[in-house]
Structure 1
Amino acid sequence: MKLLHVDASPRTGMSNSRALSAYFVEQVRERVPDLSVDYLDLAVDIPPHVTESFAIATYTPADRRSPEMMAALAYSDAMCTRLLDADALLFAMPMHNWSMPSTFKAFVDGIVRTDITYKITADGQYVGVLGGKKVLFLTTRGADLRPGSPFADMDALTPALRAAFGFIGVREPLFVDAQPVQFADPDARAEALDRARAELVSVARLWAGSVG
């Protein structure tokens, strides 16, 4: 199994999402010894934001793109290739202001590509091509956004991830959300991280059981 492991936290140290994603990879590797990991750190390999030249190049037929257009699409092309080459996808990120970090949004904008990660059929239907891949979104949230909490209706991250990746074919992603990990007392924080680790072990077992 080939896993694309993406960390999106801007914090390279003391990051809960990074620590939990590393823990998950360890759990999978214990159960899938031949696991291959393609690692992408968006705090180091920062995705470019969409520009006018990128937008124009995207909607220009490939055989008519200038060298400048191809350069504008180079990062996106590389990310799409890595995405499509993987059997499983792990996206780890903190919640920023109720949604995703800006680097991850830029990453998403670069991988939602016509004729690469989704196709338009002759009758005008949009069909994503990532169906069949295992996908886990691992998020950390400062506040508690679980049902019944005062912040439960403030979660813009989960629906945004479901929508963007659903469009490119991911129909049944898994979510592990560690919450609350910042604006909480130490005991609540420790419990949140313990819950997340337990859920990650369950996902690792599930993925390992589907291999071979």
Structure 2
Amino acid sequence: MKILHVDASAKRERSNSRALSRFFLERLREQGVEFEVDYLDVSVDTPAHVTEAFAIATYTPEHERTEAMKATLAPSDELCRRLIEADAFVFAMPMYNWSIPSAFKAYIDNIIRTNLTYVNTADGRIEGVLTRQKALFVTSRGADLRAGSPYASMDALTPALRAAFGFIGVNAPVFVDAQPLQFSDQAARTEALERARAELTAVAADWASSFNAGMANAAAISTNRDDVVA
């Protein structure tokens, strides 16, 4: 199992979202799941923002692209490859001013690519290709944006992530949101982190159960094929 783990916080080691994403992977290992991690820190290796050259190249049919166009798209091609090859995604980020950190938005702009992460079907529909991967979004928020709070309507991060990744096929992402972590007292912050860790522990158990079931099914299919051959 390969997990693509992407961090986006500018705070590095003081980041709550980074710590929580590591916590999740530790819990998953404790559940006995064997996996390798493909790690990307977009606050360090920030994808290039969209330029005119990128926009022209990406919508030029592949067989018509010049060498310059191919070079422009090469870093984006690589990011898409890493997505497609992963079995699961763990995306960790803070909320900045009610929405996505700009470094992660640049990442999104590089991975939504026609004929790579989504395709146009013959009957005019758009289909995302990332339908087999599990996805977990770990977010940290300064304010409390849960339903019923005065700030609930100001959450632009969750719907933006659902829309972007839903477009490329991720239709059932899991969100674990640690909130409030800044505009609150210490007791509320401690409770928020404890609540997030409990949710992540439950997600790890769910992923482990799903993974083990998949392995068992694969083994059964392999056994049945051997029986047929024999």
Decide: shared fold, TM above 0.5. yes
Amino acid at match of 2:104: F
Identify the residue that residue 11 of structure 1 maps to in structure 2.
11
The percent of aligned pairs where both chains have the same amino acid is 64
Quote the Cα distance in structure 1 between the aligned partners of 2:127 and 2:197.
Answer: 34
1:78-93 correspondence runs (5 A) = 78-93=78-93
Quote the Cα distance in structure 1 between the aligned partners of 2:179 and 2:200.
Answer: 14
**Highest CA radius of gyration, 1 or 2?**
2
User: Any idea what the Cα deviations from partners look like across 1:29-81, whole Å, max 9, x if unmatched?
Assistant: 22244211100001111111000000011011112211211111111101000
Quote the Cα distance in structure 2 between the aligned partners of 1:11 and 1:72.
Answer: 30
User: Any idea what the Cα deviations from partners look like across 1:73-103, whole Å, max 9, x if unmatched?
Assistant: 1111010000000000010000011010001
Number of aligned residue pairs: give it.
Answer: 212
Identify the residue that residue 69 of structure 1 maps to in structure 2.
69
Tell me, what secondary structure is at the counterpart of 1:210?
helix
Deviation of the 1:191 alpha carbon: 0.3
Identify the residue that residue 121 of structure 2 maps to in structure 1.
121
Structure 2: stretches of 5+ with no match in the other structure? 216-230
Quote the Cα distance in structure 1 between the aligned partners of 2:7 and 2:203.
Answer: 18
TM-score (norm 1): 0.98
Quote the Cα distance in structure 2 between the aligned partners of 1:32 and 1:83.
Answer: 24
Quote the Cα distance in structure 1 between the aligned partners of 2:172 and 2:46.
Answer: 27
Identify the residue that residue 25 of structure 1 maps to in structure 2.
25
Identify the residue that residue 188 of structure 1 maps to in structure 2.
188
Identify the residue that residue 224 of structure 2 maps to in structure 1.
none
> Contact 2:33/2:208 (CA < 8 Å) preserved in 1?
no
Quote the Cα distance in structure 1 between the aligned partners of 2:101 and 2:164.
Answer: 14
Tell me, what secondary structure is at the counterpart of 1:176?
strand
Amino acid at match of 1:101: P
Identify the residue that residue 227 of structure 2 maps to in structure 1.
none
1:1-212 correspondence runs (5 A) = 1-211=1-211, 212=215
Pick the structure with more helix per residue: 2
TM-score (norm 2): 0.90
